[in-house]
Chain A
Amino acid sequence: MSTLETAAHPERLCRVAIDPLSRVEGHGKVTLLTDRDHHIRQARLHIVEFRGFEKFIQGRPYWEVPVAVQRLCGICPVSHNLAAAKAVDQLVGAPEIPPTAEKIRRLMHYGQTLQSHAVHFFHLASPDFLFDFDDPTAHRNIGGVMADYPDIARQGVRLRKYGQEVIRVTAGKRIHGTGTVPGGVNKSLTVQERNYLLTDLDLLIQWGRNIVKLVKQAYALNPGYFTHFATIRTNYLSLIGADGALDLYHGGLRARNERGEILFDHLDYRRYSQVLREQVKPWSYMKFPFINSLGPEQGWYRVGPLARINNCDRIATPLAEEERREFMALGEGQPVHVTLAYHWARMIELLHAAEAIRELLLDPDIFGDELVARGEMTREGVGVIEAPRGTLFHHYRINEDGLIEKANLIVSTTNNNQAMNESIRQVAEHYLDGKELSEPLLNQIEVAVRAYDPCLSCATHALGKMPLIVELVEEESGAVVDCLVRDADGTFHSSY
């Protein structure tokens, strides 16, 4: 871990804030503390939003939860909906749902992955690839992309629109639909809907191939920079299919260390709390998860496209598999640790999502009428899914009446919290240290954060778990006369 997390004497340092972080989901900021010689002494990524979903769904009926918690996010609400739905499936005794229901959910999920990856790459991140760091800020955005590269911008908009249409057809609405029900889904597809979604899909797959090529070209133009920028050696965590293939909807947990060695594999995700823990730090609303056996110092990990491509043995769709092989060659037998390669991995997944949608649309099961399964009720359910931004955990416990008693959500961006902080510290150390800070230099910090595609609004769902210190200070002398501390477990004590 970097030594830049906490400066020894912050009171003597100059504070520079990047607030708000631009072109990311949600609201966050980065603070840098520098000394007189412009050396960076502290770098932190802060999440400044405050949500509260874990708390306010307590006391609500369990069957309402998948629809309620998807309001965590407007970019990938399907992830929250499906993770919660999978947990609710266990509550209603139906961990296995009918094939039609699972395929409709997968279709919904791949549609979401496609649109979310498209919106991140084209709308948010593409200026980082297409323009220089010192490009004027007024131009370094989707507007600039539309002006200079209209074909790329148009493809981004069309790809996103298509993904949204897949969601609309399966969930009823493009955003915040209600397709899932306890134990299944509420509709299958009609032939007309299938035919509508097949229209132009081959063209979109071709665009997916083109965009992977574009990222590869950007990498080839400056391999030294790409390989080094914000790069950190980490562990990786993701779901993995039973056959070792990339699976975004269901599977067991697999973790690798930085050398690519398996730490645990095909672990039933209902046992996630045995292998993962969360650390709370006083300066952030976002928790810091880590692999329990390695401890908080060594056990933090990365999730998301880079982790998934590093973790899987293969991809089931041919074009994406071809790209995966080329991508993995970068690592020379080890995981690819290049942080900017998140974009590359993300576009491989976009291509995979488009291919997977085509396979599902050609599967007759999507027209089936067995939509729901039910069994013996249970009191606890854990749903895990690979959201566009990484592994997403939803864990619910209900009382005997079916009301939510306890909820624990570990969202994708939270998993990447330590890694994002380490990446900005790496950038601060290697690219900013000793230099007078300017907007283009600070932009490099944002480029590092943006590679992870963080969703900061999702990551701040917790309530009542953050440590809090309230100090009573005498007005004239400035002396602390009393201090009340709330610990991470919610207990209060006076520390004065």
Chain B
Amino acid sequence: MSEELGFTLDGRRIPFQDGQTVMAAALAAGVYIPHLCFNPDFAPHGSCRVCLVKVNGRFQASCTTPAASGLTVQSETEELRNIRRGILQMLFVEGNHVCPACEKSGACQLQAVAYYVGMLNPHFSHFYPRRPVDASHAEAVIDFNRCILCELCVRASRDVDGKNIFAVQGRGIQAHLVVNTPSGKLGATHFSIHDKAAQVCPTGAILTKHQGYNVPIGQRLYDRKPINVVGDVAQLPESKGGRRHD
């Protein structure tokens, strides 16, 4: 009988199986590590850095760090909370995230994670980029102002839908989401609101057209319980507030 594999996370023993990451093992054990670009349906990306933890004293992205026996992982420390809060603040000021008018408010993973890490203000100066909304598609609208470059739509369209509709163009601070057509318009693609790519956005960047605010305040996904209890919007069935586009 082999001994169960495990590591410690904030003093708690987390079992894991070979090939699992620290993030995957923690979530499987019911322990929440905040994240945005991670989605268990896709290969880890490690780009948002919100899932930063300390592994044996070194900073690592928990979504890309393989679990290993004997690891000592810290997550819920003041130091990490401060770093995550700073990352969230930078994400908020880099785009135009106007929660008061956003249809996704209350069911937005970015907003919920910001609440979870205790972000109460943007702290940094807003960039206020000028990013036009693309509403050329009959069923969906893309608000680039809300894109956080998690590339989940890129991965979903390429790896699941087989359409390769989205891409990230530019480098560093110039990086931005584009639509893979000569016109750059979503309306010129075969995108469908039923695509996986339409269901994975952790913010309000990709939304169904001609509708909004259908769920009353008080009944929205994160109105009553925080994200560490509720889970990610993209992972929940429609009956629980997830996957609204099915």
Co-complex (A, B): yes
Interface of A with B (CB < 8 Å)?
59-61, 63-64, 67-68, 71, 92, 171-173, 176-182, 186-187, 401-403
- Given A172-B216, A186-B215, A402-B101 contact (CB < 8 Å): no
In chain B, what residue has the closest Cβ to A176? B100
Minimum distance in angstroms from A93 CB to a CB of chain B: 11
Neighbouring B residues of A63 by C-beta, 8 Å: 103, 210-213
In chain B, what residue has the closest Cβ to A372? B214
Contact B216 A64 (CB under 8 A): no
Contact A71 B101 (CB under 8 A): yes
- Given A177-B217, A178-B216, A64-B101 contact (CB < 8 Å): yes
B132 sits at the interface (CB 8 A): yes
B236 sits at the interface (CB 8 A): no
Neighbouring A residues of B187 by C-beta, 8 Å: 401
Minimum distance in angstroms from A105 CB to a CB of chain B: 14
Binary CB contact string for chain B from 170 to 205 against chain A (1 if under 8 A, 0 otherwise): 000000000000000001000000000000000000
- Which of A59, A67, A179, A182 touches B210 (beta carbons < 8 Å)? A182
B136 sits at the interface (CB 8 A): yes
Minimum distance in angstroms from B136 CB to a CB of chain A: 6
B167 sits at the interface (CB 8 A): no
Can you name 12 A-B residue pairings with CB atoms under 8 Å?
A: A60-B133, A61-B141, A61-B143, A67-B103, A67-B212, A68-B100, A179-B216, A181-B212, A186-B214, A186-B216, A401-B135, A402-B209
Number of A-B contacts (CB under 8 A): 62
Contact A173 B214 (CB under 8 A): no
- Which of A172, A187, A403 touches B135 (beta carbons < 8 Å)? A403
Label chain B's interface by main secondary structure. Answer: loop
B11 sits at the interface (CB 8 A): no
Contact B216 A187 (CB under 8 A): yes
Contact B135 A67 (CB under 8 A): no
Neighbouring B residues of A67 by C-beta, 8 Å: 100-101, 103, 212-213
B218 sits at the interface (CB 8 A): yes
- Which of B103, B214, B217 touches A171 (beta carbons < 8 Å)? B217
CA distance A60 to B141 in the complex (A): 10
Q: How large is the interface on B (under 10, 10 to 19, 20 to 34, 35 or more residues)?
A: 20 to 34
CA distance A391 to B210 in the complex (A): 28
Neighbouring A residues of B212 by C-beta, 8 Å: 61, 63-64, 67, 181-182
In chain A, what residue has the closest Cβ to B215? A186
Q: Which 6 A-B pairs have the closest CB atoms?
A: A172-B217, A401-B135, A68-B101, A178-B213, A187-B216, A63-B212
Contact B216 A59 (CB under 8 A): no
Minimum distance in angstroms from A67 CB to a CB of chain B: 5
CA distance A181 to B218 in the complex (A): 16
Known contacts A64-B101, A186-B216; 7 additional CB pairs below 8 A are A59-B133, A63-B213, A64-B102, A64-B103, A64-B212, A92-B210, A178-B216
Contact B135 A181 (CB under 8 A): no
Which of A60, A67, A178, A402 has the most chain B CB within a 10 Å cutoff? Answer: A178
Neighbouring A residues of B136 by C-beta, 8 Å: 401
In chain A, what residue has the closest Cβ to B98? A68
Contact A402 B210 (CB under 8 A): yes
CA distance A178 to B216 in the complex (A): 7
Neighbouring A residues of B209 by C-beta, 8 Å: 61, 402
Neighbouring A residues of B103 by C-beta, 8 Å: 63-64, 67
Neighbouring B residues of A186 by C-beta, 8 Å: 213-216
Neighbouring B residues of A182 by C-beta, 8 Å: 210-212
- Which of B98, B133, B214, B218 touches A61 (beta carbons < 8 Å)? B133
Contact B133 A403 (CB under 8 A): yes
Neighbouring B residues of A176 by C-beta, 8 Å: 100
In chain A, what residue has the closest Cβ to B218? A172
CA distance A171 to B218 in the complex (A): 10
Neighbouring B residues of A180 by C-beta, 8 Å: 213
CA distance A63 to B216 in the complex (A): 15
Neighbouring B residues of A177 by C-beta, 8 Å: 217
Which of A59, A172, A177, A187 has the most chain B CB within a 10 Å cutoff? Answer: A172
Neighbouring B residues of A401 by C-beta, 8 Å: 135-136, 187
CA distance A33 to B143 in the complex (A): 51
In chain A, what residue has the closest Cβ to B137? A401
Contact B100 A181 (CB under 8 A): no
In chain A, what residue has the closest Cβ to B211? A63
CA distance A178 to B132 in the complex (A): 24
In chain B, what residue has the closest Cβ to A377? B210
In chain A, what residue has the closest Cβ to B136? A401
In chain A, what residue has the closest Cβ to B102? A64
Neighbouring B residues of A178 by C-beta, 8 Å: 213, 216-217
CA distance A63 to B214 in the complex (A): 11
Neighbouring A residues of B213 by C-beta, 8 Å: 63, 67, 178, 180-181, 186
Contact B135 A61 (CB under 8 A): yes
